[in-house]
Amino acid sequence: MKPLFLFLFLAAIGNAVYHLGQRALGHASNPMVVLMGVYGAAFLLSAVSVPFFSAPGQGSVAGQVLAWPVFAIAAGAFLIEIGFLLAYRSGGSLQWSGAAVNGVAAILLVAIAVVGFKEPLTLRKVLGIALTLSGLALFTR
Protein backbone atom coordinates (compact mmCIF):
# COMPACT_ATOMS: atom_id res chain seq x y z
CA MET A 1 0.00 0.00 0.00
CA LYS A 2 1.34 3.44 -0.90
CA PRO A 3 1.98 5.74 2.07
CA LEU A 4 -0.45 8.31 0.61
CA PHE A 5 -3.33 5.83 0.80
CA LEU A 6 -2.35 4.81 4.32
CA PHE A 7 -2.36 8.47 5.41
CA LEU A 8 -5.71 9.10 3.70
CA PHE A 9 -7.15 6.02 5.43
CA LEU A 10 -5.82 7.38 8.74
CA ALA A 11 -7.58 10.70 8.02
CA ALA A 12 -10.79 8.84 7.14
CA ILE A 13 -10.71 6.92 10.43
CA GLY A 14 -10.06 10.19 12.27
CA ASN A 15 -12.96 11.82 10.43
CA ALA A 16 -15.32 9.01 11.46
CA VAL A 17 -14.17 9.17 15.11
CA TYR A 18 -14.54 12.96 14.99
CA HIS A 19 -18.15 12.78 13.78
CA LEU A 20 -19.05 10.08 16.32
CA GLY A 21 -17.65 12.29 19.10
CA GLN A 22 -19.42 15.40 17.81
CA ARG A 23 -22.75 13.57 17.53
CA ALA A 24 -22.41 12.09 21.02
CA LEU A 25 -21.89 15.47 22.75
CA GLY A 26 -24.62 16.56 25.13
CA HIS A 27 -26.82 19.54 24.31
CA ALA A 28 -26.33 21.12 27.73
CA SER A 29 -22.60 21.82 27.32
CA ASN A 30 -21.22 25.21 26.29
CA PRO A 31 -19.81 24.81 22.74
CA MET A 32 -16.80 27.02 23.50
CA VAL A 33 -15.92 25.02 26.62
CA VAL A 34 -16.18 21.82 24.56
CA LEU A 35 -13.84 23.30 21.93
CA MET A 36 -11.35 24.33 24.62
CA GLY A 37 -11.30 20.74 25.84
CA VAL A 38 -10.97 19.38 22.31
CA TYR A 39 -8.07 21.68 21.47
CA GLY A 40 -6.41 21.08 24.84
CA ALA A 41 -6.47 17.33 24.23
CA ALA A 42 -5.26 17.81 20.64
CA PHE A 43 -2.43 20.03 21.94
CA LEU A 44 -1.30 17.31 24.36
CA LEU A 45 -1.45 14.62 21.66
CA SER A 46 0.55 16.88 19.33
CA ALA A 47 3.16 17.70 21.98
CA VAL A 48 3.73 14.01 22.71
CA SER A 49 4.06 13.30 18.96
CA VAL A 50 6.63 16.03 18.16
CA PRO A 51 9.70 13.76 18.52
CA PHE A 52 8.28 11.29 15.97
CA PHE A 53 8.00 13.96 13.26
CA SER A 54 11.18 15.99 13.78
CA ALA A 55 13.53 16.37 10.82
CA PRO A 56 16.65 18.46 10.15
CA GLY A 57 16.06 21.96 8.82
CA GLN A 58 12.58 22.45 10.21
CA GLY A 59 13.47 25.68 11.97
CA SER A 60 12.46 26.82 15.42
CA VAL A 61 9.26 25.65 17.03
CA ALA A 62 8.13 29.27 17.48
CA GLY A 63 8.78 30.01 13.81
CA GLN A 64 6.69 27.03 12.77
CA VAL A 65 3.82 27.75 15.17
CA LEU A 66 3.59 31.48 14.42
CA ALA A 67 3.43 31.13 10.62
CA TRP A 68 0.28 32.55 8.97
CA PRO A 69 -0.83 29.15 7.57
CA VAL A 70 -1.12 27.89 11.16
CA PHE A 71 -3.63 30.65 11.92
CA ALA A 72 -5.53 29.87 8.69
CA ILE A 73 -5.70 26.18 9.69
CA ALA A 74 -6.83 27.17 13.19
CA ALA A 75 -9.60 29.39 11.80
CA GLY A 76 -10.72 26.61 9.46
CA ALA A 77 -10.64 24.01 12.23
CA PHE A 78 -12.62 26.30 14.52
CA LEU A 79 -15.29 26.85 11.86
CA ILE A 80 -15.48 23.10 11.15
CA GLU A 81 -15.77 22.28 14.85
CA ILE A 82 -18.42 24.85 15.71
CA GLY A 83 -20.30 24.22 12.45
CA PHE A 84 -20.66 20.49 13.08
CA LEU A 85 -21.32 20.92 16.78
CA LEU A 86 -24.19 23.31 16.12
CA ALA A 87 -25.44 21.30 13.12
CA TYR A 88 -25.68 18.10 15.17
CA ARG A 89 -27.37 19.98 18.01
CA SER A 90 -29.89 21.26 15.47
CA GLY A 91 -30.77 17.73 14.40
CA GLY A 92 -28.12 17.12 11.72
CA SER A 93 -27.85 13.54 10.57
CA LEU A 94 -24.72 11.48 11.22
CA GLN A 95 -25.58 9.64 7.98
CA TRP A 96 -25.09 12.57 5.64
CA SER A 97 -23.78 15.71 7.41
CA GLY A 98 -20.09 14.87 7.03
CA ALA A 99 -20.45 13.75 3.43
CA ALA A 100 -22.48 16.83 2.51
CA VAL A 101 -19.95 19.23 4.04
CA ASN A 102 -17.01 17.40 2.43
CA GLY A 103 -18.78 17.45 -0.95
CA VAL A 104 -19.36 21.20 -0.77
CA ALA A 105 -15.78 21.73 0.43
CA ALA A 106 -14.45 19.65 -2.49
CA ILE A 107 -16.33 21.84 -4.97
CA LEU A 108 -15.03 25.00 -3.26
CA LEU A 109 -11.48 23.64 -3.35
CA VAL A 110 -11.71 22.87 -7.08
CA ALA A 111 -12.71 26.48 -7.72
CA ILE A 112 -9.92 27.80 -5.47
CA ALA A 113 -7.38 25.49 -7.14
CA VAL A 114 -8.38 26.62 -10.64
CA VAL A 115 -8.61 30.35 -9.90
CA GLY A 116 -6.01 30.80 -7.16
CA PHE A 117 -3.41 28.19 -8.07
CA LYS A 118 -3.96 27.97 -11.84
CA GLU A 119 -4.54 24.22 -11.71
CA PRO A 120 -6.18 22.88 -14.87
CA LEU A 121 -9.92 22.19 -14.93
CA THR A 122 -10.39 18.97 -16.86
CA LEU A 123 -13.51 17.25 -18.12
CA ARG A 124 -12.90 14.55 -15.50
CA LYS A 125 -13.04 17.17 -12.71
CA VAL A 126 -16.19 18.74 -14.16
CA LEU A 127 -17.81 15.28 -14.20
CA GLY A 128 -16.64 14.80 -10.59
CA ILE A 129 -18.32 18.06 -9.63
CA ALA A 130 -21.53 16.94 -11.35
CA LEU A 131 -21.44 13.60 -9.51
CA THR A 132 -20.76 15.35 -6.21
CA LEU A 133 -23.72 17.68 -6.72
CA SER A 134 -25.90 14.69 -7.66
CA GLY A 135 -24.79 12.88 -4.52
CA LEU A 136 -25.52 15.94 -2.38
CA ALA A 137 -29.00 16.14 -3.92
CA LEU A 138 -29.62 12.48 -3.08
CA PHE A 139 -28.31 12.92 0.49
CA THR A 140 -30.61 15.82 1.23
CA ARG A 141 -33.82 14.22 -0.02
Q: Where are the domains positioned within the chain?
A: 1-92, 95-141
Q: Can you say how many angstroms the Cα of residue 26 is from the centroid of all Cα atoms in its chain?
A: 22
Q: What percent of the chain has pLDDT over 90?
A: 52
Between CA 82 and CA 30 the distance in angstroms is: 11
pLDDT tens digits for range 97-131: 888 898 889 889 999 999 999 999 999 989 988 99
How much is the pLDDT for 92?
87
Which run of H or E residues covers position 134?
Answer: helix 123-139
Residue 12 pLDDT more than 70?
yes
pTM over 0.85: no
